[in-house]
Chain A
Amino acid sequence: MTAPRTPRKQYWNEPTLGLWERLYIFEIVRGLSITGRVFCGNMWKWMTGRKGAVTAYYPEEIRGDYSPNNRGRHVLTQRADGKVQCVACNMCATVCPAYCIEIEATADFDDAAHPKSPARFEIDYSRCIFCGFCVEACPEDAIRMVKDVPDLPGFDRDVMWGTKDLLAQWHPLKDPRKPYPAPPVARKDEGAP
């Protein structure tokens, strides 16, 4: 009458621990010796004046192993004459999902090619989410992101602002990796017509 019993399905693994592991005390000794070895090695490094840790002492110490593609600190690029390349078009401020960019434009009609420039360009790093949209939105390649992180830690949100002077850090002549065409002023000095 009764249906044949199927063996109950086992959903767990067979125990893999042998007697040695199940005695536990020897495995404890092994674990303690591993942690003790690491401790002694690191401690010896600290005592002989080296660094016995793989973590960085942020922000005093800046990690050297950021990826070159890391979206870190913003920089405003400069023209050869030192003025920022930004034309205060507000595209980055518009696209910014965190609304953390503030630009105040000013006009300089003597410079016919770039009459509009920012008088104030500020990024509120307490709100910035480092998405990089501002970099992509910029039509002038005026804002970029470099791999190292901004120096953010502080006791006050008021110090977490990146101003124009702080951000304007990339100058074509100072970047050996990105040669820039020599400025026309220099060519005139060489005696060209």
Chain B
Amino acid sequence: MMPDLVVHGVYIACILAFLLGLATIFTWVERKQSAVMSDRIGANRAYLRIPFTQVKIVAWGLFHGAADGLKMILKENFTPTTYDRFCYNLAPWLAAVPVLLVFAVVPFGGEVQPGRFFEPGSGAAEFFGDRTYRMQIASLDAGILFVLAISGIGILGTMLAGWSSNNKFSLLGAARAASQMISYEISMGLALIAMVVTYGTVDLFEMVQWQQQATWGILVQPLAFLLFLTASIAENKRIPFDLPECESELISGYFTEYTSMKMGLFLLSEFIEIVVISALVVTLFLGGYSVPFLTTGGFVLPGGGLWEIGALGVALLQMLTFTLKVFIVGCFQIQVRWTLPRFRYDQLMDLGWKFLLPLAALNLVVTAIVRWWTL
């Protein structure tokens, strides 16, 4: 009981730090990548001054994330006079928390034996014994169903925000957000079901193990990869699917009436969702935490050599690989966001219902037939 609690407490702390840290870094990446992409310099005015000196640490503008957060917290929390007070306050949390929760079932490393990290015979080694843990906060059998169920709650947050703001722009944004997210969730679900059929399991951890033994999911299911990525970006309401919050028409869409950290939560949840989408894409299609030739003992090279790196080394290397893959996929999402123009609303719906949905259904049918044939 106690070892479980300790291990999962460490996991949750690590994941929270990972998500919030990476989301903050992605705000910086978004600024800098778009700047370099369009021949600009990018945000680089925030600095830390070493006390009592004039030495300013700029660090390529990395402190802009911290400056943003500080600004959000310190700003006046302005609220409109007429609103549903309860829903208005609940909505940012309802938007941000499910995004964090999705990560509970994403594996960020293989199986570990915490007892082996310590010297044999020491107190800590005996405390953990020879228990084995998956590097995953919750080893749910439901796995991917949990992802779909929890990410569906996010819609409620945006709808509540738009409705309780008592503002026509917000209401329009909320209506658009609801219809868009529900439309694209169907394609996303069908793409995921194709993956479930391929892997024969709904457990994300076993999916990664399947990919470790066979090959990456993107090579087996390239179409599902495209569909899932597109639908996820649409779920995240970012350009080219940012109609719920398009500045030129709806000010900020459903969070127009929000200020200070409440708006910060909406913005932060958008960036956390980039990380979560990347993590899901990596887990489902890009081999998750797996490193080529790496087993629980160390690298088993194809020539027959064995390179021992220890249990802790393997675990750290897997986490590092996972982080790196997530970062690369996140950068790709930002590249898409700064490359493509926004859809018109009818184009958005056409793409969702007339293009992605039939393709996803077709993909599922073909996958099922192939799977039945090869069984």
- Which residues does A use to contact B, with CB under 8 Å? 25, 28, 31-32, 34-36, 38-39, 42-43, 46, 52-55, 57
Contacts and interface: CB of A to CB of B under 8 A. Distances in A.
B15 to A, nearest CB: 30
B339 A35 contact: yes
Contact of A25 (B33, B36, B226, B335): B226
Interface residues of B, number: 14
A42 B113 CA distance: 45
Contacts of A35: 37, 335, 338-339
Contacts of B338: 35
B39 A54 contact: yes
Contact of A32 (B38, B226, B339): B339
Nearest to A23: B355
A36 B35 contact: no
- Closest CB pairs A-B (n = 7): A54-B39, A35-B339, A39-B37, A42-B36, A53-B41, A31-B339, A55-B40
Contacts of A55: 39-41
Nearest to B42: A53
Contacts of B40: 53-55
Contacts of A31: 339-340
Contacts of A57: 41
Contacts of B39: 38, 42, 52-55
B309 interface: no
Contacts of B339: 28, 31-32, 34-35
Contacts, number: 40
Contact of B36 (A28, A32, A34, A52): A52
B57 interface: no
16 contacts: A25-B226, A28-B336, A31-B339, A34-B339, A35-B37, A38-B37, A38-B38, A38-B39, A39-B33, A42-B36, A42-B39, A53-B36, A53-B39, A55-B39, A55-B40, A57-B41
A39 B36 contact: yes
A36 B36 contact: no
Chain B binding site: helix, strand, loop or mixed by DSSP? helix
A43 to B, nearest CB: 6
Given A32-B335, A38-B38, A39-B37, 8 more contacts: A35-B339, A36-B335, A38-B37, A38-B39, A42-B36, A46-B36, A55-B40, A55-B41
A11 B363 CA distance: 40
Contacts of B36: 39, 42-43, 46, 52-53
Contacts of A53: 35-36, 39-41
A17 to B, nearest CB: 12
Chain A binding site: helix, strand, loop or mixed by DSSP? helix
Interface in B147-199: none
A28 B339 CA distance: 8
Nearest to A38: B37
Contacts of B226: 25
Contact of B340 (A28, A43, A54): A28
A49 to B, nearest CB: 14
A42 B340 CA distance: 20
A41 B36 CA distance: 9
B50 to A, nearest CB: 19
Given A31-B339, A31-B340, A32-B336, A42 B37 contact: yes
Nearest to B336: A32
A34 B37 CA distance: 9
Interface in B307-345: 335-336, 338-340
Contacts of B33: 39
A43 B339 CA distance: 17
Nearest to A51: B41
A36 B328 CA distance: 13
A59 B338 CA distance: 27
A74 to B, nearest CB: 28
Nearest to B36: A42
Contacts of A28: 336, 339-340
Interface string B225-261: 0100000000000000000000000000000000000
Contacts of A42: 36-37, 39
Most B-side CB within 10 Å, residue of A35, A53, A54: A35
B234 to A, nearest CB: 14
Most A-side CB within 10 Å, residue of B33, B37, B336: B37
Contacts of A38: 37-39
Contacts of B38: 38
Most B-side CB within 10 Å, residue of A31, A36, A39, A55: A39
Contacts of A34: 339
A130 B40 CA distance: 27
B131 to A, nearest CB: 46
A53 B339 CA distance: 18
A39 B37 CA distance: 4
Interface string B1-45: 000000000000000000000000000000001011111110000
